[in-house]
Amino acid sequence: MSGYDPWASGGLPYLNVAHICPATRALGPGLRAVLWVQGCCFRCPGCIAPDWIPRRIAHLMTPEEAVARLLAHPHVTGLTFSGGEPMLQAAGLAAVARLARRQRELSIICYTGFTLEQLRADPPGPGVEDLLQETDVLIDGPYVAALNDQRGLRGSANQRVHYLTDRLRGVDFEHTPRRIEIHLNEDYALLVGIPTSEQLAAFERTIVRLPSHRGPSTGAEGSAG
């Protein structure tokens, strides 16, 4: 779509999506679907998803199209938004959350490189407050490689877990052991989760040995690591 800028529009009428995982247990409690947006304003050294940083068009889809893919698995009980930087397409993601919740009771986790204070004082684009209203848990702050403590559902220890509702308040996001999943298709291997350094190294070694020599692709939370 020539001339369309999803970052200026906040992801409406089209989100710019890097990837969707329809079912995982590696990025939050229960069975979750994950949407990673394309494009980030942060370039954190050591980012786990560098391919999703550039502000280029990847896959444009309406919120309705995104919801259809996110809720394809009947047992999904939550959505996780990452990237890229979700708050650059906040209006579109807020619409996704509202539409999805009309069909199913869901918890929503959102990662961002911004702090919650920054988001409220100086939103980076349209729809930020709307997305915050739909979010149950916000994990905020840039990834700092030197503070990666190899635990929890955050990339580094400077990142904070904000329980914006009570829906997931009993879940420990900071100390839970990290787990990853590797999803394979004909073109690539997708690592889903927040890997420890050992897990990431093992993933990269495994990919090199695959017969098709798939290039590694990571699906951990990009804004936070």
State the pLDDT at residue 221. Answer: 46
E strands of 78-215, at which residues?
78-82, 107-111, 137-140, 160-163, 180-184, 189-193
Q: In this predicted model, what pLDDT tens digit does every residue of 67-121 receive, in sequence order?
A: 999 999 999 999 999 999 999 999 999 999 999 999 999 999 999 999 999 999 9
State the pLDDT at residue 225. Answer: 41
Mean pLDDT over all residues of the chain? 91
Q: Is the pLDDT of residue 141 over 70?
A: yes
- Find where tokens 């709307």 sit: 130
Q: In this predicted model, what pLDDT tens digit does every residue of 41-56 receive, in sequence order?
A: 998 998 988 999 999 9
> SS3 of 165, please?
coil
Range list of H helices, the chain: 6-9, 63-70, 90-103, 116-121, 128-134, 197-209
State the pLDDT at residue 187. Answer: 76
The structural domains of the chain, ordered by start, are 8-219 (3.20.20)
